[in-house]
C-alpha cells in the first residue's frame, strides 16, 4: 500500500454534509472563528442558550488538530504539578489542575448527552520514563498529587513494566487510570452534527479576513462576504492568522507528526500494549502512541520542530519509524501505511489561556498537546462569558503575554529545538 499523507482518522470517520457555499446570515449574536473542538463546543453551548451563531471555518469542519491529533483525552497540563506549585503557589495550582480534571468529565458527559459515536474508552494512560531520573521525578509527582490534589497514580517499576508495555526502552511507568481515548475525527464530526441540530450556522471555506469594530458590534469580513456580529469568539488555536493579530502574537504553532502502521495481529498488539492504554514518554522531544480500533500502532512525536510543510511528512515518517522500532523492535518488518501532521499550539508559559482581548472579543487557545478535553471545556466556558455568566475559569487570570519580536512566524523554532534536544541530553 502506498504511503498515504492524510490522517488515518479521516478514512475511518463518517462524512459530513458540505457546509461550503452556504449564504452567510446578515447578522448574528456571535461569530465563532474556527471549527475545532473549541469553536464547536462554544457554538453548541451558545446556540442551546438561545444565541444566533455562525461558525466560520477557513478549511473544512475540524480540519486542523481536532481531526489530526492522537486521540488521547488527558487530565493534567503540559506543565507538571511541581512546576505549577512552584510557579503559582498551591491554591492556584490546585484550581488549574482541577480544571483539567473537570474538562475530562465534561467531555465524557457531552459525548453521552449528544450520543457521539467516537470510540470513547476509559483506557487510562502511561507516562514512560525515558531515563532513570525521570522515574524519580514520577515518584515526587505521585506523592504531591496524592497529598495535595486528591488523585492517585500508580507507579510501575521497570522490572514490572512488561505488564503494561512490551518494551525495554523505558525505566518505569506512571499510570493514570482515569484518562481516556477517542477517535478524534469521529468526535469533532459528531460535535458538528450536534451544533447543526442546535440551530447554529456552519460555514466551510469561509476565511475570516478582518474583524473591525462597528459601533457596538463588529463587521466580520470573510472570503464569502461580510456579516455583523455582536460578539466574536476566536477559536483558531494553532491556526491563528493575520485576521486575529492579538492572538497570533501569543501562540506558537509547532508541527506534530503521526505514523500509522498496517493492522497488527491481535497477539502482537496484545504484547505491545496489553491494556490498550495510551502512552507518552518523558522527553521534551516526546513520543506518544496508542493502538487504533483495528490494531494499528499510531506513533507520533515532534519529529520536526517546525510547522508542517509539504516536504516534512515523508522525512518525519522515516524519523518516527526509526524511533518506533527502537521502542518496539519486533515491529522492524512492519509497514507504515499513513503519515500526517498538524499544529500543536503553545504559549510562553506552556499553559492554556481563555479570556477577553476587548469588550466583545474573546478567545481560548494554547493547549500544548492536551487539547481534546481542555479545548472542549474552555469553549463552553467562554460561551458562558459571552452570555454574561460566571465561567469559573482559572486560566482567565493568567497573564497572556505576547512573544517579543514575534508576528506569528516562528523564526525561533530551530533554536528552541536545539535547546530542547540539549535538555533531553542533560536531564
CATH number, domain of 223, equals 3.50.50.60
pLDDT value, residue 408: 82
Whether 252 and 97 have beta carbons less than 8 Å apart is answered as: no
Please state the pTM of the whole predicted model: 0.96
Which has the minimum average pLDDT: 184-188, 288-292, 357-361, 403-407? 403-407
Structural domain count, the chain: 1
pLDDT value, residue 422: 63
- Average per-residue pLDDT in the chain? 94
Q: What is the pLDDT of residues 58-82, one digit of tens each?
A: 999 999 999 999 999 999 999 999 9
pLDDT band, very low/low/confident/very high, at 310 (cuts 50, 70, 90): low
Higher pLDDT, 172 or 313: 172
Q: Is residue 217 part of a domain?
A: yes
Whether 266 and 382 have beta carbons less than 8 Å apart is answered as: no
- From the list 417, 119, 68, the residue with the least C-alpha distance to 258 is 68
- From the list 274, 277, 280, 278, the residue with the least C-alpha distance to 127 is 280
Whether 116 and 390 have beta carbons less than 8 Å apart is answered as: no
pLDDT band, very low/low/confident/very high, at 313 (cuts 50, 70, 90): confident
Q: Is the pLDDT of residue 139 over 70?
A: yes
Sign of the CA dihedral running 392, 398, 399, 401: negative
Q: Is residue 139 part of a domain?
A: no
Instruction: Give the three cell numbers for residue 414.
Output: 530551530
pLDDT value, residue 279: 98
- Average of per-residue pLDDT across 203-217: 96
Q: What whole-number distance in Å separates Cα of residue 14 and Cα of residue 401? A: 40
- Average of per-residue pLDDT across 344-353: 94
Q: What is the residue whose three cell numbers read 533531553? A: 424
- From the list 371, 374, 302, 347, the residue with the least C-alpha distance to 71 is 371
pLDDT value, residue 412: 76
CA diameter of the chain: 67
pLDDT value, residue 304: 62
Q: Is the pLDDT of residue 420 over 80?
A: no
Q: Is the pLDDT of residue 303 over 60?
A: no
Q: Is residue 426 part of a domain?
A: no
Q: What whole-number distance in Å separates Cα of residue 43 and Cα of residue 176? A: 31
- From the list 181, 105, 175, 104, the residue with the least C-alpha distance to 145 is 175
pLDDT value, residue 325: 98
pLDDT value, residue 289: 98
Q: Is residue 294 part of a domain?
A: no
**Exposure of 217 by Cβ count < 10 A (0-12 exposed, 13-18 middle, 19+ buried)?**
middle
Q: Is residue 287 part of a domain?
A: no
Q: Is residue 369 part of a domain?
A: yes
User: CB under 8 Å to 322, separation ≥6 — which residues?
Assistant: none
pLDDT value, residue 198: 97
Q: What is the pLDDT of residues 185-198, one digit of tens each?
A: 999 999 999 999 99
Q: What is the pLDDT of residues 381-404, one digit of tens each?
A: 999 999 999 878 999 989 999 999
If DSSP states are collapsed to H, E and C, what string results for the chain? CCCECCCHHHHCCCCCCCCECCCCCCEEEEEEECCCHHHHHHHHHHHHCCCCEEEECCCCCCCCHHHCCCCEECCCCCCCHHHHHHHHCHHHHHHHHHHHHHHHHHHHHHHHHHCCCCCCECCCEEEECCCHHHHHHHHHHHHHHHHHCCCCCEEECHHHHHHCCCCCCCCCEEEECCCEECCHHHHHHHHHHHHHHHCCEEEECCCEEEEEEECCEEEEEECCEEEEEEEEEECCHHHCCCCCHHHHCCCEEEEEEEEEECCCCHHHHHHHCCCCCEEEECCCCCEEEEECCCCCEEEEECCCCCCCCCCHHHHHHHHHHHHHHHHCHHHCCCCEEEEEEEEEEECCCCCCEEEEEECCEEEEECCCCCHHHHHHHHHHHHHHHHCCCCCCCHHHHCCCCCCCCCCCCCCCHHHHHHHHHHHHHHC
Q: Is residue 275 part of a domain?
A: no
Q: Is the pLDDT of residue 311 over 90?
A: no
Q: What whole-number distance in Å separates Cα of residue 148 and Cα of residue 170? A: 28
- Average of per-residue pLDDT across 84-90: 97
Q: Is residue 394 part of a domain?
A: yes
Q: What whole-number distance in Å separates Cα of residue 31 and Cα of residue 244? A: 13
| Contacts for 316-321: CB closer than 8 Å, 24+ residues apart | 316/255, 316/257, 316/341, 317/3, 317/257, 317/259, 320/257, 320/258, 320/259, 320/287, 321/259
Q: Is the pLDDT of residue 27 over 80?
A: yes
Range of the domain at 54: 8-68+186-251+348-409
Q: What is the pLDDT of residues 218-257, one digit of tens each?
A: 999 999 999 999 999 999 999 999 999 999 999 999 889 9
Amino acid at each position: 500500500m502506498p504511503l498515504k499523507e492524510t490522517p488515518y482518522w479521516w478514512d475511518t470517520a463518517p462524512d459530513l454534509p458540505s457546509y461550503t457555499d452556504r449564504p452567510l446570515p446578515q447578522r448574528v449574536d456571535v461569530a465563532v472563528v474556527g471549527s475545532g473542538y473549541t469553536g464547536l463546543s462554544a457554538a453548541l453551548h451558545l446556540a442551546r442558550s438561545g444565541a444566533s451563531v455562525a461558525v466560520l471555518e477557513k478549511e473544512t469542519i475540524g480540519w486542523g488538530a481536532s481531526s489530526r491529533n492522537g486521540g488521547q483525552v488527558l487530565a493534567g497540563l503540559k506543565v507538571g504539578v511541581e512546576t505549577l506549585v512552584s510557579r503559582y503557589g498551591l491554591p492556584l495550582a490546585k484550581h488549574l489542575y482541577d480544571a483539567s480534571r473537570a474538562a475530562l468529565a465534561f467531555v465524557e458527559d457531552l459525548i453521552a448527552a449528544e450520543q457521539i459515536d467516537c470510540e470513547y474508552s476509559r483506557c487510562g494512560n502511561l507516562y514512560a520514563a525515558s531515563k532513570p531520573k525521570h522515574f524519580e521525578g514520577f515518584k515526587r509527582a505521585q506523592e504531591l498529587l496524592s497529598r495535595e490534589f486528591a488523585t492517585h497514580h500508580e507507579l510501575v517499576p521497570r522490572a514490572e513494566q512488561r505488564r503494561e508495555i512490551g518494551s525495554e526502552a523505558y525505566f518505569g511507568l506512571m499510570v493514570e487510570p482515569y484518562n481516556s481515548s477517542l477517535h478524534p475525527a469521529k468526535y469533532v464530526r459528531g460535535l458538528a452534527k450536534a451544533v447543526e441540530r442546535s440551530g447554529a450556522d456552519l460555514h466551510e471555506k469561509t476565511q475570516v479576513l478582518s474583524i473591525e469594530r462597528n459601533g457596538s458590534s463588529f463587521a466580520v469580513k470573510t472570503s464569502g462576504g461580510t456579516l455583523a456580529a455582536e460578539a466574536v469568539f476566536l477559536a483558531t488555536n494553532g491556526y491563528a492568522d493575520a485576521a486575529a493579530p492579538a492572538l497570533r502574537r501569543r501562540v506558537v504553532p509547532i508541527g506534530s507528526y503521526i505514523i500509522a502502521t498496517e493492522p497488527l495481529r491481535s497477539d502482537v498488539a496484545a504484547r505491545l500494549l496489553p491494556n490498550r492504554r495510551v502512552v507518552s514518554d518523558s522527553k521534551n522531544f516526546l513520543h506518544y502512541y496508542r493502538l487504533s480500533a483495528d490494531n494499528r500502532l499510531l506513533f507520533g512525536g515532534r519529529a520536526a520542530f517546525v510547522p508542517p510543510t509539504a516536504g516534512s511528512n515523508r522525512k518525519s515518517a522515516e524519523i518516527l519509524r526509526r524511533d518506533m522500532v527502537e521502542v518496539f523492535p519486533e515491529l522492524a518488518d512492519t509497514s507504515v501505511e499513513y503519515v500526517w501532521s498538524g499544529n500543536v499550539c503553545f504559549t510562553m508559559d506552556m499553559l492554556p489561556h481563555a479570556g477577553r482581548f476587548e469588550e466583545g472579543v474573546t478567545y481560548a487557545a494554547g493547549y500544548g498537546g492536551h487539547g481534546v478535553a481542555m479545548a472542549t471545556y474552555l469553549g463552553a466556558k467562554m460561551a458562558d462569558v459571552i452570555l454574561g455568566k460566571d465561567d469559573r475559569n482559572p486560566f482567565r487570570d493568567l497573564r497572556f503575554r505576547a512573544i517579543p519580536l514575534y508576528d506569528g512566524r516562528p523564526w525561533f523554532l530551530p533554536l528552541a529545538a536545539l535547546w530542547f534536544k540539549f535538555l533531553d541530553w542533560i536531564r
